[in-house]
Structure 1
């Protein structure tokens, strides 16, 4: 830009002369940052001056005008489209907030723990169709359809312990020792780890030595064997419960080999995921001699025969090595199923049967209870199995060996009341031999000694009370009444006092009667605190004249005793129907 130094006028660069005075124009020099040109006189002033030192013009107004610059293109554009720009800014901020929120939600929803929890909820539903939509298979030949998974969901539905176990095991990533496990398989939205629920199927590897055997698994036919050395490869199958039936004809008779298999937890599988089963048929025949008095002999759950009085003759069936021989024992209210018996059919082949040698003796277990009770019932696992016999002093409960422990108890039931011993647990696997002693004592059982002491004291006092040389006043009457339930209101007390003691004391002929207990013959508990007692007492009546002594023995067949406030007392002596004289010779 050019400048007229005389007129102080500015012109464009392409003009050479001032239009006012005609002088030559000069190039306008840049003003130094520390000087300011007076707009009135054109003189230079210091940058800090407020007024021109030459003409007094206000220099700050000039400076304010100079600082006003043209707005930028962005500012101008923003001013022109302010509303649109504000909308775009809000949209960007909103998208940013939503994106952060979705990411945080995804972190929780797609976390490993949340995915496992959803799989656990899915398993709890036992729905094969829903499971088929979520599970993947470790075997490419297994298609996880509802039909293929139904045997698995049926098993988890009926077996809660197994269902809970596999559900908890999902927390162990890549645990291929389980029927179900989780593994990491990629990402969700390239951000979050993705975990698959993996099911591991298995195969049945079944062999037989029977030609033309028809094999069926869960009622589905798998085909017939075409030789005596045949093998079926069945699968892949989902874990669960399977019923295998091999049917064939033997000497014109229809025969069957069957086995129920619960294939879970990858148990009994070879390295290639197969379970080997033998359906090789062998005809066996033997006799049974057992301590188990009665029960059913079972092979693979089917009855082979009934054991009576510990004996079973001519048991015969088609045996295979993978089958289970067991005894189902019935003892009054209890039913026990033995663990598989140690039985090798190769030792009892029908062709080698000999009545004197082919005897199978299944091992039993003997529970030997000891108790202070004279009556009651023995219970195993809450079921009555035997009753105490009065003539027995020792007892043996002969039971099959089970895989579960026995819980043994003695109970005495009296109307609405019951007295029980502590429950004893007996685990057969804890014993080297086949017997276990258990103590089944009951509390507050009155024994023979307690009865004898009471009767000895009673008849000793009665002997004194019949003798006039001893007192029988109120104190003695009170002492006598204390032997009886109800005291002086008891009819037996009144009978002793009014019909035996007082007449003896007043008799001119009777001097005294020596009474003593001869024998307690029987005690039977009839209630929580009541007992029936049979005993014999001797009455030796002495006379003051020449009359011979009357030495007699009497049996009280059903005297009733009770425990009151911890003390034993007589309730009644049974009356005349339960009182009899017995021969003196029996006790001399």
Structure 2
């Protein structure tokens, strides 16, 4: 196709000159067709023109046709590659869904709470190998391994309170006051916070003033001191229990200094995570004078003497300032271990020993009970400590001071039942004078006066019933039965009625018998509503003739009385083996 550059008009290839201007035609190039061509006159216009510059014809129809043609090309290309495009689109959607799912999973899995929970589960297993793969150290000199973590895992296994404590405290990030803590350290996949489980080891500086002392820690040899101012520097060590044993020769004898250290919760550590222990040797000797009646005197858990009747003479041992002197007290079934006693070995050195001056009086705690019971057992922490009855004068129960509270109770044990007071809890630290007064009342006992009154009434009525001048019909029989447990079925009632009252009323010789309670000698509670009573009755028999009256005294040694419906009744008078005549001279 040919084209006039002057008139901007297109011609067929068989034309050589423009019919309008006579200019020579040229071949039409791609660049020459880029304008907006008028469909009427063929003039090329600006692409933004809406009407032809030559003839005024609207150019919008041409533009729309062109756009339609271009759109048709795009759709043709789309339909030609439709399967490929759909596959790519589906792949993008799947990739988006998977990416979102993985992010949500990672957001949960790597959340602070989930990381803490996984660490807590590992700690609960007490497995040093698994812990070694998990924990990191705050000390560059310590490399977590199964063999050097076993002391820690053994301790957590044996001490559940400690294990639970460190596990719960993982919630506190960067809490360096704990043996284990969580530290935020970087990101997982550049997205999620990463938390490390950090273990803080410690160091021990063990000092001694003894040359040639051999030190062992948890049965592992740590070497021997070579002078009298020697320090073993031990560590880094993991939190846990450590048994330190120092042995040396002194005056031809093998001496030992030992100490058990539970190094947990960063207690006693300096800022550099070190702790000093003294294995300096001092020989002490003293006598003990104590309110504690019996027990073992312990130094660092080892017995150094036995306290008997509050006394111990010549207690001696190697003393060091970090050691603990305690008393393990045995009182009845109760065993108590005192808090460390206030003891300064420098005041009781063996070289200064004197029986007049070297007397150690350990502090004690006094529990003073007040009770309405006449007998029973005092229990402390559910263990029987002391037994008393109404003839004893127990003013206080003397026990060693402890950090834990004393739970005090009175129990009365009988053949078929037990009566207990309320439990009183005594916190030793609440009492400045080391004395606690406790009330241990039990279910109220029957007063001896009430028993005397009841027996008085019984024998007064029996006196009347033996006299045939008084009625003893159904009403009186029912009244008499009211004094006995089980009423008319009680064997003691039947015996009174048939073998004592009846014969007396029918006798041609006996007039009546004056029955009188002489004395209640003893009352022993045998149950919540049961009592054994020993008493003496005066039976004075009068006759119809001139026979002198017969005045006799009889003792019921084991009469059993019970409380029923708030009334005292006789259950059993003890039988023939518990019935005896006593001399009238004892009472006249």
| Aligned ranges 1:117-516 → 2 under 5 Å | 117-389=117-389, 391-394=391-394, 396-443=396-443, 445-516=445-516
Aligned to 1:90: 90
Aligned to 2:12: 11
Instruction: Output one character per residue of 1:355-382: Cα deviation in whole Å (capped at 9) or x when no partner.
Output: 2222222222232333333343322212
Matched, 1:2 2:6: no
User: What's the CA shift for 1:393?
Assistant: 5.0
Aligned to 1:57: none
| Aligned ranges 1:58-137 → 2 under 5 Å | 68-70=68-70, 78=78, 81-137=81-137
User: What's the CA shift for 1:493?
Assistant: 1.4
1-side partners of 2:127 and 2:101: how far apart?
34
Contact kept, 8 Å, 2:136 with 2:144, in 1: the verdict is yes
Call closer, same or farther: CA 1:274–1:35 in 2, change over 3 Å. Answer: closer
2-side partners of 1:586 and 1:314: how far apart?
56
Call closer, same or farther: CA 1:372–1:587 in 2, change over 3 Å. Answer: farther
Contact kept, 8 Å, 2:43 with 2:52, in 1: the verdict is no
Aligned to 2:32: none
Matched, 1:567 2:567: yes
* Partner SS, residue 452 of structure 1: helix
Call closer, same or farther: CA 1:31–1:264 in 2, change over 3 Å. Answer: closer
2-side partners of 1:384 and 1:495: how far apart?
43
User: What's the CA shift for 1:547?
Assistant: 3.7
Aligned to 1:29: 43
RMSD (CA atoms): 3.2
* Partner SS, residue 450 of structure 1: helix
User: What's the CA shift for 1:161?
Assistant: 0.9
Contact kept, 8 Å, 1:3 with 1:28, in 2: the verdict is no
Contact kept, 8 Å, 1:205 with 1:275, in 2: the verdict is yes
Instruction: Output one character per residue of 1:242-269: Cα deviation in whole Å (capped at 9) or x when no partner.
Output: 1011111101111100011111111111
User: What's the CA shift for 1:540?
Assistant: 3.2
Matched, 1:586 2:586: yes
2-side partners of 1:394 and 1:450: how far apart?
27
Contact kept, 8 Å, 1:2 with 1:15, in 2: the verdict is no
Contact kept, 8 Å, 1:2 with 1:12, in 2: the verdict is no
2-side partners of 1:23 and 1:403: how far apart?
125
Q: Which deviates more from structure 2 when the two are superposed, residues 307-316 or residues 576-585?
A: 576-585
2-side partners of 1:201 and 1:22: how far apart?
104
User: What's the CA shift for 1:416?
Assistant: 4.3
Contact kept, 8 Å, 1:2 with 1:13, in 2: the verdict is no
Q: Which deviates more from structure 2 when the two are superposed, residues 446-455 or residues 311-320?
A: 446-455
Q: Which deviates more from structure 2 when the two are superposed, residues 558-567 or residues 482-491?
A: 558-567
* Partner SS, residue 69 of structure 2: coil
1-side partners of 2:15 and 2:515: how far apart?
165
Number of aligned positions between the proteins: 569
2-side partners of 1:261 and 1:210: how far apart?
21
Contact kept, 8 Å, 1:247 with 1:254, in 2: the verdict is yes
User: What's the CA shift for 1:94?
Assistant: 2.6
* Partner SS, residue 429 of structure 2: helix
Instruction: Output one character per residue of 1:497-536: Cα deviation in whole Å (capped at 9) or x when no partner.
Output: 2332233334455443332222221122334433211111
Instruction: Output one character per residue of 1:469-520: Cα deviation in whole Å (capped at 9) or x when no partner.
Output: 4322211111111111222222221222233223333445544333222222
2-side partners of 1:46 and 1:271: how far apart?
92
Contact kept, 8 Å, 1:3 with 1:11, in 2: the verdict is no
User: What's the CA shift for 1:44?
Assistant: 8.1
Contact kept, 8 Å, 1:370 with 1:394, in 2: the verdict is no
2-side partners of 1:184 and 1:409: how far apart?
52
Contact kept, 8 Å, 2:4 with 2:18, in 1: the verdict is no
Call closer, same or farther: CA 1:380–1:282 in 2, change over 3 Å. Answer: same
Contact kept, 8 Å, 2:205 with 2:275, in 1: the verdict is yes
2-side partners of 1:315 and 1:144: how far apart?
45
1-side partners of 2:326 and 2:350: how far apart?
19
Aligned to 2:38: none
Contact kept, 8 Å, 1:183 with 1:197, in 2: the verdict is yes
| Aligned ranges 1:532-571 → 2 under 5 Å | 532-571=532-571
User: What's the CA shift for 1:130?
Assistant: 1.3
Call closer, same or farther: CA 1:393–1:476 in 2, change over 3 Å. Answer: farther
2-side partners of 1:223 and 1:66: how far apart?
100
1-side partners of 2:426 and 2:347: how far apart?
32
2-side partners of 1:519 and 1:115: how far apart?
82
User: What's the CA shift for 1:236?
Assistant: 1.2
Q: Which deviates more from structure 2 when the two are superposed, residues 147-156 or residues 441-450?
A: 441-450
Contact kept, 8 Å, 1:2 with 1:28, in 2: the verdict is no
TM-score normalised by L of structure 2: 0.88
* Partner SS, residue 574 of structure 1: coil
Call closer, same or farther: CA 1:45–1:455 in 2, change over 3 Å. Answer: same
User: What's the CA shift for 1:91?
Assistant: 2.7
* Partner SS, residue 267 of structure 1: coil
User: What's the CA shift for 1:35?
Assistant: 6.5
Instruction: Output one character per residue of 1:179-199: Cα deviation in whole Å (capped at 9) or x when no partner.
Output: 111121112222222111111
Contact kept, 8 Å, 2:151 with 2:239, in 1: the verdict is yes
Q: Which deviates more from structure 2 when the two are superposed, residues 345-354 or residues 462-471?
A: 462-471
Structure 2: 5+ residue stretches without partners: 26-40
1-side partners of 2:507 and 2:18: how far apart?
183
User: What's the CA shift for 1:207?
Assistant: 1.0
Call closer, same or farther: CA 1:544–1:34 in 2, change over 3 Å. Answer: same
Call closer, same or farther: CA 1:462–1:118 in 2, change over 3 Å. Answer: same
Call closer, same or farther: CA 1:28–1:45 in 2, change over 3 Å. Answer: closer
User: What's the CA shift for 1:126?
Assistant: 1.2
Instruction: Output one character per residue of 1:384-405: Cα deviation in whole Å (capped at 9) or x when no partner.
Output: 2232335325453322222211
